[in-house]
Structures are given as C-alpha cells and as structure tokens.
Amino acid sequence: MIKNRREPFSLSRACVSLAGLALLASCASTPTATHQSTGWIKDEVADSYVFGYPLVMMSVARDAAVGTEPGRAPFNTLRHAQALPPIGTANPPQPGLDTLASTGWLDVGDEPVILSLPDSHGRYVDARVLDMWTNVVWSTGPQFVAGTAGTKGVRAQTIAFVAPGWNGELPAGAKRVEVPTRNAWISVRVQSNGARDLNAIRKLQHGIRLAPLSVYAGDAEPAAPSRGNGSSGVASAAGTPAQQVAALDASAFFGRLADALADNPPSPADPHALKFLADLGVTPGESVKLPKAADALAAGLADGRERVATPPTNLLSANGWSWFGDGVGNYGPDYALRAYAASTQPGIGTKDDEVRAVVTQDSDGHPLNGANRYVIHFPANRLPPVRGFWSLTAYTKDGALSENAPGRLAVGDRNGARRNRDGSLDVVVSSTRSRTGNWLPAPRADMQLVLRLYAPKPQATDGSWEPPAVVRQ
C-alpha cells in the first residue's frame, strides 16, 4: 500500500527549471524580452494550471448551475433532486444511488446566507460546503462522527455562512462559518432507500431552508425555487465541468482564472503562485496578456493537463483500488492532490464525510468487464469501516449507470447484503445473474467499480484498512 503522506505540490520545481537561465536572477524575477529561451513559460504555465485548476473548474460548474432556467437555481437557493439518477448518463460521472441531493451555489459577498436543517429523525444526512478552491469550509461529517447528532442523521440546526470580517446580527442560535471566497458550493444529501422512499425524502427536503439573511429575516422576497430530476448537478450539452475545462485553450483557461480570482482569493494565500501568474500576464480581475509564445503555451498547457490527471503519490492504493486519505477536503499547499481530487471526484468532502474507492482492474491486472464473473470477498473483520453505511456500484468505463442492468444496481449493508456463516461477505459482480452471494449487476463491457463509505471510521483513511481484491472466477 502507498501510505497517505503529505507531499505538497510546490511551485519551486519551476525555480529549478529556471536556474539555468543566465539572465534570470531568481524564481521571483520578472521575465523580460531579454530571455533567450521560452522554457520558463512552459514551466510556469504547467505549474499555474495545476494551481488554478480547481478554481476554474468550480467557476465552470457554477456558471452551468446558476440561473432561472429549468434545471438551474439562482444563487442562495437549492435545487432538489426529485428522482434517482437516470440510466446511461455520465454527467455527473459515477452518479450515486444511495442519496438524493439538494445542491446550490452561495454568494456571501453582499450578506450572510443562512442554512437551516431539520431533524432527520435517524435518516442519514450529509451536508457540506466547499469554497471555490474545493476546500471544505463546513460539513456535518465531524458532527456525525462525534455522535452529537444521534446514531444516524442530524439534529435541527442553523448555519450562517458569512464573508470574512462581516459584522452584524445573525439569527438566534445560528453557528457562524466564515467562507473565504465570495462563492461556494453547497450539497445536502439525504439517504434514499429506493423509489418507494421518495415521498419521505421530499418531505425532509421541504424542511431544508437556504436563503440570504435579508430573506431569512423576512425583509426581502425569496428567489424563485428550482426543481429537477437527477442526483445532483446540471446536465450540460458541453459535457461535465471537467470535460469543459479540459477543452479550454491557454487564453480561455487563464482568462477564467483571472476573472474568478478577483472575488475568490487563493487559500492558503500564496504570493509566489500569484507572482508566477503575473509573470504570465494573469492578474486578478484584469484582461489576460499571455506571452506571445504559442508553442511554449501549448506545451505548458499539455503538461499541466497531464499532471492534473496523474494520481499523486499520497493517494491511497491497494488491491487495484485507489482512494483519498486524510488530506482530502483540506488541502493546504498540496496543489497536486487538490487538482486531482477536483478532476476525478468533484465535490468530495473530508475524511469524516465520505470515502469513495475506485477500481478498474482485477487482481491479475486485467481491465474489469461485466461479461466476466468476479468475486469480492470481505472477511468478517475487514468489512468497510463506517459509522453510517456503505455500498458498491458498477459503472461503465466512462462512469455511467449501465442501461442493461436491472433496477437493483447497488449492493451494501443497508439493502440486505447477506453474510456467510463465518460473518464474511461475498459480492458477485457480473452482467449475468448469480444465484449465490450478493449479486451486483454490471455492464457487459469494460467497467469500473465504486465502493462508497458514508461517515467512514478513521481506519478507512489512515492506511490501516484496504478494500479486498476483485478476483475473476
């Protein structure tokens, strides 16, 4: 196993690459026309791409989700999913079957935004808010794990999301949470027990309230609510936010970055990274003036994209599975982990919120394909360590639910997974129905499996537990 260790991505690598330039006194020096090489452009573009990727992706996701059109919602309102995700869609990728989500985008620039959660009466609820750099600024995870909200679910509570330094009176009993960026993404996921459970979920959703302070206090009119189908997010003809960002050229990417930086400063503050951007002609809130070196820009962009897609060394891995460890959700200067997480599991919370392990190969290193039969054996003392619940789902290679699978698409401890006499548990994965074990239907094609742990225990992210191998029979 690769242990989860902090190896922060550092922009200092570019300093090394620049050291050989005779006319560059230091990494902080301002590039001039006297440079004899454009190597510094490629290096700084690549580093800046990794640094800025989460902010650009979040801005793309925000622009696709905010509005009054069907399937969208205005700022500071929630869009409630009203049904399980459709079959055959990969937008968003790997749609969850265990919860229905109420999602929205906050704007705390003018006034605080108030969230009220009702008592869920034992039903699992996971709520989180991510700033524009994908750091989790608040979630119910630690509360759930600490047990202050009961065995499962959450108690009634009110949270006030405010801009740093805001002074004023908040509703009685509201917990103040400062959001370092003007915008933020919010998700409230409610446990679903299938189609028969939808009315109960909708009733709980009706009790969730999100509104600017002035609306919450009754001094202003609320924005029109929005409702839609699907698990979360907004479908886009242009693809997922990650696909849209991947399609941006250097000018478009850094233009979006400069625009978003004006209201969403980096966290932690990193003047060195901002200096690199200034070297490239990228200044918060201003038009971008990139160097006239098309080849170097393109090469740097390609390098940046490759680095975003490359699993970082502090990703946990075992038996072909990979998942995020303790550093997820609060990244500090670990820009490589932050960018990779934003690209592969957008909206992921902290180690206390959720673990999502992914595998695409069997124990022999061959690609998973539903035409085969696989067995995943969990020993009695090695079941997924959770305080909430866990589930296993099969997706197509691109992250869609299979069109040829039956309605029961997930196996887990909340939907009757049967144990063996010794307490162990076997999951059979195949496109052909199995009469033994716990059958997980799979697409008859190359596929991926996702193991979700809701409210995981510490051993799920500290390296002391690992998912079992997927063995072909």
Q: CATH number, domain at 88?
A: 2.60.40.1610
Query: At which of 290, 309, 328 does a domain end?
Result: 309
Our count of domains for the chain comes to 3
- pTM score, whole prediction: 0.87
Is the confidence at residue 220, as pLDDT, over 80?
Answer: no
Whether 459 is covered by a domain: the verdict is: yes
Query: At which of 233, 254, 279 does a domain end?
Result: 233
Indicate if 372 and 435 belong to the same structural domain. Answer: yes
**Cβ contacts of residue 59 below 8 Å, gap of 6+?**
132, 256, 259, 260
Q: Give me the pLDDT at residue 142, please.
A: 65
Tokens describing residue 196: 């028969």
pLDDT band at 94; cut points 50, 70, 90: confident
Whether 326 is covered by a domain: the verdict is: no
Q: Give me the pLDDT at residue 219, please.
A: 78
Asked if residue 443 lies in contact with residue 404, where contact means CB atoms within 8 angstroms, the answer is yes
Report the range of poorest mean pLDDT among 66-75, 193-202, 279-288. Answer: 193-202
Whether 29 is covered by a domain: the verdict is: yes
Comparing 128 with 224, the larger pLDDT belongs to 128
Comparing 234 with 98, the larger pLDDT belongs to 98
Query: At which of 233, 268, 288 does a domain end?
Result: 233
pLDDT in tens, 340-385: 999 999 999 999 999 999 999 999 999 999 999 999 999 999 999 9
Edge-to-edge strand ranges of the sheet holding 209-212: 175-178, 157-162, 113-117, 209-212
Tokens describing residue 13: 């690598």
Report the range of poorest mean pLDDT among 316-325, 406-415, 461-470. Answer: 406-415
pLDDT in tens, 380-407: 999 999 999 999 999 999 888 887 655 5
**Tally of residues, the chain:** 473
Indicate if 366 and 279 belong to the same structural domain. Answer: no
Asked if residue 189 lies in contact with residue 126, where contact means CB atoms within 8 angstroms, the answer is yes
Whether 67 is covered by a domain: the verdict is: no
Measured CA to CA, the distance from residue 440 to residue 221 in angstroms comes to 48
DSSP characters over 274-314: HHHHHHTT--TTS-----S-HHHHHHHHHHHHHHHHSPPTT
Report the range of poorest mean pLDDT among 3-17, 114-128, 241-255, 450-464. Answer: 3-17
The whole domain housing 92 covers 73-233
